[in-house]
Amino acid sequence: MKSELTYVKGARESIRHKINTNIRMFINRLHSDFPPHWHTDIEIICPMEAPYNVICSNQKYFVDIGDILLICPAVLHEIFSPTPGARLYIQADFSGIVSLKELDKAFRLMSPALHIKKKSCPKDVYEKLFDYIGRIKELYFGSQAAASSNIEPFDENVTAFTELDPFGELEIYSILMEFIAYCAKNIGLFIGSDSVTPLNTFKNSISLSNVCAYISEHFTENISLESVASYAGFSKYHFERIFSDYTGVTFYQYLQQMRINYAQTLLSNPELSITDISYQAGFASSAAFTRAFRKSTGYPPSQFRMLNEVRHPLPANPHFAKYNKATV
């Protein structure tokens, strides 16, 4: 069972979550940064009154008001709050069900994070995604939340330390699964939107979306640019160009990052050695894995493992010490 407290920059944010559930939802109104950390939860951030700057596996995201950022499980991330204002958070532990083949594939397609921009997302798609979030908000906080606007504050403490209604957690997880499936099925609307050139046709986008799904199933194997280009039905050189346009990186950069993302998940298992993880993730050697991992995340695998919130939680602020002793 997770603690009912949420950690922020050298402090524990005094948020009172529901009990007996692996789901946490809250509205953060503190002007605080979150230092580097990772967990097996998915994390959905929706800035309502102020933006966030977020770094996920060395990729930078400016999450504007109205945007949605879904951070995949086991991704190292850091969050910066440039200005005060409310942001909606949802965190849900997926470690028990990530073994579902298509759920795992969806996370690999979206990793390290899926940024849904209000300004560029088709209106009907955006409204559908926010409807999912609104349904979760109602199930978690109740009718009071449903009656309020997304920005208008309401007293979350009314539901502090209470339980969800019977099967409420199951309902929320089912909605989250719908949310993730919808995003994965429409991934072409969200990734590469800033880099795709006018020469890319709709047909190519569909083909490359299928290619990314294929890579997500075979990335631990000895696959090559030539073999994947042949699978996609393109020449090697044409595929290399349009793939870079579509994803923003080269094929081998994409493949290596997918292997690193998988290794990050494996690092949550203390029974696996670094060597075991390197081979399971598709690297030729432990040394090659360590070099690539450090380059991608800024940390060697052993140090990254210690940034897991469960193993190495962020330090508590003495200001909340009395409160913590009473509730944890």
Does 196 reside within a domain?
A: no
HEC secondary structure over 187-199: HHHCCCCCCCCCC
b/e sequence 66-76, b meaning 16+ C-beta within 10 Å: bbbbbbbbbbb
Does 221 reside within a domain?
A: yes
- Where residue 99 falls among pLDDT bands split at 50, 70, 90? low
The CATH number covering residue 75 comes to 2.60.120.280
Same domain, 102 and 223: no
Same domain, 230 and 168: no
Please count the structural domains in the chain.
2
Does 316 reside within a domain?
A: no
Give the torsion through C-alpha atoms of 291, 294, 300, 304, to 10 deg.
-150
Q: Which of 38, 35, 8 is nearest to 311 (CA)?
A: 38
Same domain, 166 and 76: yes
Q: Across residues 289-313, what is the average pLDDT?
A: 83
Same domain, 112 and 142: yes
Contact 116, 68 (CB under 8 A): yes
Minimum mean pLDDT range among 78-92, 203-217, 252-266: 203-217
Same domain, 35 and 116: yes
Does 143 reside within a domain?
A: yes
Same domain, 108 and 228: no
263: containing domain: 202-306
Q: What pLDDT, in 10s, does the model give residues 3-23?
A: 333 434 443 344 456 778 889
**φ, ψ for residue 94, nearest 5 deg:** -110, 10
pTM: 0.70
pLDDT higher than threshold 90 for residue 130 = yes
Does 126 reside within a domain?
A: yes
